[in-house]
Amino acid sequence: MNDSQLTSLVKDMTLHEKVGQLVQLATPFFKGASDKGQITGPMQEMGLSHEDIENTGSVLGASGAKETIAIQRKHLEDNRLGIPLLFMSDIVHGFRTIFPVPLAIGCSWDLDLAEKSAALAAKEAAVSGGHVTFAPMVDLSREPRWGRGMESTGEDTYLNSGFARSFVRGFQGDLQQDAYKVASCVKHFAAYGAPEGGRDYNTVDMSEWMLRESYLPAYKAALDEGCEMVMTAFNILNGIPSTGNKWLMRNLLRDEWNFDGVLISDWGAVKELLPHGVAQDEKEAALKTLRAGVDIEMMTSYYFKYTSELVEEGLLEESTIDEAVLRILRLKNKLGLFENPYREADETDEKTFILAPEHRNVARELAAKSVVLLKNEQALPLNNNNNIALVGPFANNTDILGPWSWGGSAEDTITLDTGMKHRLNTDHLLIAEGSGIETGTEQQLQEALQTASRADVIVAALGEHSDMSGEAGSRADIRLPEIQLELLKQLKSLGKPVIAVLFNGRPLDVREVIEHADAVLEAWYPGTEGGNAVADILFGDVNPSGKLSMSFPHSVGQVPVYYNQFNTGRPKDAPDAQIRFVSQYLDIPNEALFPFGYGLSYSTYHYSEMSLSTDHITPDEKLTVKVNVTNTSETSGEETVQLYIRDLVGDVVRPLKELKDFKKVTLKPGETTTVEFTIEESQLRYYHADLDYKSDAGEFEVFVGPNSRDIQSRKFKLGNV
């Protein structure tokens, strides 16, 4: 259909039919759903009539060609104007083939492979009848207590923005040209990753300056890449719930950023204006969110209940409804649903593409690239002629898909013991659980110690179960559960090399793990191929190259701790710093235990002195930074060379350093390559006190290195100084 046809379709619709397009309900409300059609209980609870359902515009969570075709077919029979449904669901890091959680993908620093993973997820979703994915989640987070950090790519604005673009390209591509794509929906707008205390859904309060400088750019990057939808966040932002926040949704998103796509509330977030205490009643909640420009209300029915009244009472213009409906119909049109409401749903293609070898291979490759080697004192890689004890609650545990992997399943998942068995003959592999994740028995412990005592080397597979992170998964104590730390200590007391492999959804306080293990691999939730990927790393088939995209704190008392902090007026490491009256803790360091960008390899790399093409540029000139990187080991490897910049004097305080570029280089033993970066004025811009976004003439420092801590620097000037 063309736009004038869509506009006239809106004109043909009754107000109730229009409002129906603004509502999204979960699958069971729809006839044809696998659970034999509509559920009357919740329908009555929500005050929904059958006519409401027949006019509803989109479905949450349906999947499978058979189910989505059945629902769509029934809906088209019942819907007076034959307006097709949109099918939306959370395909965040895979549909049925589950890729590593996004925080793990963030540690791969591999934007291309991230895009590939999203494209494969979109393919599996599209043939299963999906139209929209609620991803990418780009909430910047400096909060390891928060459970949903695993769903983001970490703490850095530049890296998160790169991944946001990659995920949108992978999921969505060009919806009207490319096959097997789904529309993407960037979330959660905005700054959901900064809740006070790291407690999910809690208050977010920050200056507009900090919001624009650090938290907003990744959403904007997704939208600049063409992302079709935005989802509101549960949290308040500066006193107003995002879902009813007119400044955020109208002034910024729609007017300043010119976003004319579809804005959907998070689950029940319209209703939550009531407990937030900014709506007197349901009707006011509906009014505030409609005025804020929220097009689709997810899983509540206030738009159905109150929009007619609001229009009749003159509190709401029907034109506001018409605009929202048109945006939704345009998205349906972009997806080709008016011409083909079943799109690419196809049971034969499902069998061809879902969990296809290529998909598994990419999942395995990306999982291995996402693993971060935090410590290695000559313990890795393993020698497969040794007797190896694999001990711990994750030795044989399919709970390695992570949150938001609802399409994945245990039977598809390669556990660590299976992955290791693919590499070892089984009489060399001795397995014992040793403890549960949070509980354990003396018998378990003794059996594990007995097993481990017969091995040459011990692999301790430890971690958090997946509901210890994810939504509503905040933890105040971010260490491994005590029972696992005790297991590790006991294993170490056997006097053999111990390698700890961590399966978890947040940066942990790993001090005790580092103390008792000779090597530590952060494996996150590596997904369907996790066991194979970790085994590939353990035995050296893959040389670890992951680099942390979120700092590991020394202790939770330090949180939030992140690499691009400000210097303060009393930096403790200033040359003239006093002993006492400086910004410090009396009991722990200021710095993270493992900083942003950190990750070891089986290779070692030497960085030459960096050089600049000049130490002074005008705003229209560029300077080149060069550094030679040599692989000084006997093992080929991939290194991520990072470039940071510090603006030494600003209109507002400027971070000690900010990631501005990175390059991944693969080096054979002894090989040297010259890595070049270009710096130009646009990379030096920032939000001033008056929120102008521009650069200043002045002096800068540029850093190059393997992480945000072990770096060398040079100075240069911009402009007439």
Which residues does 180 contact at the CB level (< 8 Å), separation at least 6? 119, 122, 123, 126, 127, 344, 353
CB 232 to ligand GLC: min, Å: 10
CB 380 to ligand GLC: min, Å: 36
> x/- string (CB under 6 A) for ligand GLC, residues 263-302?
---xx-----------------------------------
Buried b (16+ CB within 10 A) or exposed e, 273-291: beebebbeebbbbbbbbbb
Q: What residues pair up with 448 in beta bridges, in sequence order?
A: none
| CB-CB contact of 137 with 102 (8 Å) | yes
| CB-CB contact of 715 with 700 (8 Å) | yes
| CB-CB contact of 172 with 226 (8 Å) | yes
CA distance 5 to 19: 19
CB 197 to ligand GLC: min, Å: 18
Name residue 232's amino acid.
Answer: T
Closest to ligand GLC by CB, 266 vs 647, is 266
CA distance 103 to 105: 5
- Residue located via tokens 């997904």: 527
Closest to ligand GLC by CB, 265 vs 435, is 265
CA distance 293 to 249: 6
Binding to ligand GLC, residues 187-206 (CB under 6 A) = 187
Closest to ligand GLC by CB, 184 vs 532, is 184
247 to 50, 241, 259, 277, 289: CA distances (angstroms): 36, 11, 14, 18, 12
Closest to ligand GLC by CB, 134 vs 302, is 134
Active site residue 266: yes
Closest to ligand GLC by CB, 89 vs 108, is 89
Residue 415 falls in which region: left (phi positive, over 0), alpha (psi -120 to 50) or beta: beta
Closest to ligand GLC by CB, 25 vs 310, is 25
Strands (E), 534-692: 605-607, 611-612, 616-617, 622-631, 637-647, 658-667, 672-680, 686-687
Closest to ligand GLC by CB, 90 vs 350, is 90
CB 189 to ligand GLC: min, Å: 11
Written as six digits, the tokens of 509 are: 């306080």
Separation of first and last alpha carbons in the chain = 58
Binding to ligand GLC, residues 435-474 (CB under 6 A) = 471
| CB-CB contact of 589 with 557 (8 Å) | no
90 alpha carbon, distance to own chain's centre: 12
CA angle, 672 then 674 then 675, to 5°: 125
CB 91 to ligand GLC: min, Å: 10
CA distance 198 to 180: 37
Closest to ligand GLC by CB, 128 vs 558, is 128
508 to 25, 42, 106, 592, 706: CA distances (angstroms): 37, 40, 16, 11, 22
Binding to ligand GLC, residues 118-177 (CB under 6 A) = 134
Closest to ligand GLC by CB, 224 vs 471, is 471
Residues 616, 217, 595, 196, CA torsion sign: positive
Closest to ligand GLC by CB, 123 vs 187, is 187
Question: Residue 320's CB: how many other CB atoms inside 10 A?
Answer: 15
Closest to ligand GLC by CB, 200 vs 412, is 200
CB 503 to ligand GLC: min, Å: 22
CA angle, 446 then 452 then 458, to 5°: 130
| DSSP H or E stretch at residue 218 | helix 217-224
> x/- string (CB under 6 A) for ligand GLC, residues 511-550?
----------------------------------------
Written as six digits, the tokens of 178 are: 């490319």
Q: How many residues bind ligand GLC (CB under 6 A)?
A: 6
Closest to ligand GLC by CB, 187 vs 475, is 187
Catalytic residue among 139, 266, 295, 518: 266
Closest to ligand GLC by CB, 209 vs 406, is 406
Which residues does 564 contact at the CB level (< 8 Å), separation at least 6? 156, 596, 655, 656, 657, 658, 659, 708
CA distance 456 to 479: 28
CA angle, 637 then 642 then 645, to 5°: 170
Binding to ligand GLC, residues 76-95 (CB under 6 A) = 90
R_g of the chain, CA atoms, integer Å = 27
Written as six digits, the tokens of 119 are: 């494209």
| CB-CB contact of 174 with 125 (8 Å) | no
SS3 629: strand
CA distance 618 to 719: 4
Q: What residues pair up with 388 in beta bridges, in sequence order?
A: 429, 457
- Residue located via tokens 């354990």: 440
Query: Looking at residue 527, what DSSP letter applies?
Result: -
CA distance 125 to 345: 9
CA distance 233 to 243: 6
Positions touching ligand GLC (CB under 6 A) are: 90, 134, 187, 266-267, 471
Q: Which residues are catalytic?
A: 266
